[in-house]
Structure 1
Amino acid sequence: MTGAVVAFACLFLGLILQKVPRFSAENAANWVQTYLIYIVLPALALLYIPKINPSWNLLLPISAAWFTFLLSWGIFGYLGKKLNWGRNVTGCLIIVAGLANTSFLGFPVIEGLYGKEGLPLALLIDQGGSFLLVSSLSILVGSLYGNHQESLAKVPLRILKFPPFGFLAGTLAMSILQIPTPEILLPFLEFVGKTMPPMALLVIGLRFSLDMEAITSRFFWYGMGYRLILAPAMVALIYTNWMDSQSLEYKVTVLESGMAPMITGSIIAIQFGLQPKLATLLSGLGMPISAITLGVWYLILG
């Protein structure tokens, strides 16, 4: 609870700093964003990924995050090309709507609704799904749709040079080979990892601006509709073929698929120049809006 209070205090701090004369909110946001991408994401990878023990039994809950991201890519990629939305808008929707806030929002929601029994599943979905995605496929989408001049042949090199991806590859190898993270590093990595929610919300606060044009934009509601309604609906319909619809695993998997857009996903989108304002609104307003839809999904799941 204390962490959530601090995080939301940082959100309001960012909103306040926007109004301070001679204070460059844009420069501050860029500095914090750089810290998150180049330090915090690699630290989290080193902290959590080696702890995942690969098992076939874990694939179904984890695969839901990958399924909804790929579905987002398929839907928005097709519509963006068909309706000439522009590459930046399309890329933004793919990444931000495709990634759910399965940790900062997901952990307390799952624990509150299903108790501590649901937390290991939530952690699994987050680390094996959302976190791997934000460190891999989201970077690929950003490279393909973002503001860059290099040819597609240079995209793989761009991805390999992105620090979170390198740490992801290394920590995945550690997980497969069962090599633990050195214990001497754990206190430092845990400290750095705890700065993710407050610093991410600080970036949102520094960049957040609300106007009716943005709220009434069809792209905002396309993203919200996909993330909060369509994605969990598709998981609920499809995964009932392989999971018991009354099981805790099924309920947590569906509910995690309906979380608000991932804050880190919006930061990745911003890093690649993919509609920063839209990305900020989706992750910033997604949390309060999702309070309604998550309640509905909880009642539907029983």
Structure 2
Amino acid sequence: MDNILLIFLCLIMGLGMQRLAAFPKNGHLALNQFIIYVALPALALFYIPKISISSNLLYPLALPWIGFGLSFLFFYFIGKRLGWPKRLIGCLIITAGLGNTSFVGFPIIQALYGEEGLKTAIIVDQPGTFVVMATLGLITATIFAKGDANPKQIVSKILLFPPFVAFVIGFIMNVFKVDFSDHFQNVFQKLGATVTPVALVSVGLQLKIDKRSQHWKFLRLGLLFKLIITPAIFFLLYKIILGGKGLMVDVSVIESAMAPMITGAILASNYGLKPKLSSMMVGIGIPLSFATVAVWYFILNAF
């Protein structure tokens, strides 16, 4: 409950700070850089060395990769057919393809499934959503921001992307079964904990709800795909086609129904991929997702 309250409070604070003359007009840019260069790498260095990888984790591990692939196919072909600008296509691919599997996902999963469910949620998020954002998300942002798929530039951006660098270090430590000292782990945990409030304040600073905005029809389609179509596909794939059962499968389906990823929206915004739309996807998608996640939870229980 505390985390859910934090989400709404930080969004409201960000909205309120838009009206403060003392706060820099582009202050969200500094907050975004802090998240990418400090908070997210700290989060990776804290969690990745601790994850136990096994074949039982294929359901939660595959979910973010499949989800992003579905988003790419859906919005790329629709966008090309309807003649959408590349920045709009890229924005929707990233924001609808990356789920908020930690900031919103963790407290919801913990409330619904307890500590055991949270262990599965961490697998969905850290080696899943987090790595997809740092690789496929970054590649998509680079390509659709400039419309130029320069392989060397893309590889360079991935290799120098701070969260990805931190993931590689954490993964190597995981392979060799080593971890940082308790003092460093405490520091990384505290720095990583700043992601949620700082990211949400940044989103609130950028969120402007204009009823006459041209973004509304794209927002509706993006949220329809993220909150309804995506979990429906995973419900059919995991529960019906593959016949999956148990807590791990149920948690994976619920995680697929989460609102758009905050840091995914920040990535899109940093690359100029319709910043207003990306902020709306998060700012409106988060509160709306509480209702849609509840529906999917009841569907899973009834099945």
Residue pair 2:105, 2:121 contacting (<8 A) in 1 also: yes
Gaps of 5+ in 2: none
* Number of the residue aligned with 1:170: 169
* Number of the residue aligned with 2:286: 287
Matched, 1:183 2:178: no
Change (3 A) 1:243 1:178: farther
* Number of the residue aligned with 2:56: 57
1-side partners of 2:154 and 2:165: how far apart? 15
Equivalent residues in 2 for 1:137-216 (5 A)? 137-147=136-146, 151-214=150-213
Residue pair 1:17, 1:23 contacting (<8 A) in 2 also: yes
* Number of the residue aligned with 1:106: 105
Task: Percent identity, please.
Answer: 38
2-side partners of 1:38 and 1:199: how far apart? 13
Equivalent residues in 2 for 1:205-284 (5 A)? 205-214=204-213, 217-240=216-239, 241-245=241-245, 247-284=246-283
Residue pair 2:10, 2:197 contacting (<8 A) in 1 also: yes
Aligned partner of 1:272: which letter? Answer: Y
Aligned partner of 2:23: which letter? Answer: F
Change (3 A) 1:142 1:44: same
Structure 2 counterpart SS, 1:135: helix
Residue pair 1:214, 1:278 contacting (<8 A) in 2 also: no
Aligned partner of 1:250: which letter? Answer: V
TM-score, structure 2 normalization: 0.93
Matched, 1:117 2:141: no
Residue 148 of structure 1: how far off its partner (Å): 7.6
- Deviation sequence 1:8-53 (CA, Å, 0-9, x none): 3332222111112353232x10111110001111111111111112
1-side partners of 2:300 and 2:213: how far apart? 33
Aligned partner of 1:226: which letter? Answer: F
Structure 1 counterpart SS, 2:92: helix
Residue pair 1:50, 1:180 contacting (<8 A) in 2 also: yes
Residue 94 of structure 1: how far off its partner (Å): 0.8
Aligned partner of 1:12: which letter? Answer: I
Residue 168 of structure 1: how far off its partner (Å): 1.8
2-side partners of 1:301 and 1:71: how far apart? 22
Aligned partner of 2:137: which letter? Answer: S
Change (3 A) 1:137 1:37: same
Q: Which moved more, 1:113-122 or 1:98-107?
A: 113-122
Change (3 A) 1:6 1:291: closer
Change (3 A) 1:163 1:116: closer
Equivalent residues in 2 for 1:27-46 (5 A)? 28-46=27-45
Change (3 A) 1:80 1:148: closer
Residue 215 of structure 1: how far off its partner (Å): 7.8
Residue pair 1:135, 1:168 contacting (<8 A) in 2 also: no
Residue pair 1:101, 1:260 contacting (<8 A) in 2 also: yes
Change (3 A) 1:244 1:23: closer
Aligned partner of 1:55: which letter? Answer: S
Count of matched residue pairs: 300
Aligned partner of 1:36: which letter? Answer: I
Residue 114 of structure 1: how far off its partner (Å): 2.2
Change (3 A) 1:68 1:82: same
Q: Which moved more, 1:259-268 or 1:110-119?
A: 110-119
Residue 184 of structure 1: how far off its partner (Å): 2.6
- Deviation sequence 1:53-110 (CA, Å, 0-9, x none): 2211112221112111111111112222222211111111111110111111111211
Change (3 A) 1:150 1:105: closer
Structure 1 counterpart SS, 2:74: helix
2-side partners of 1:230 and 1:152: how far apart? 32
Matched, 1:9 2:22: no
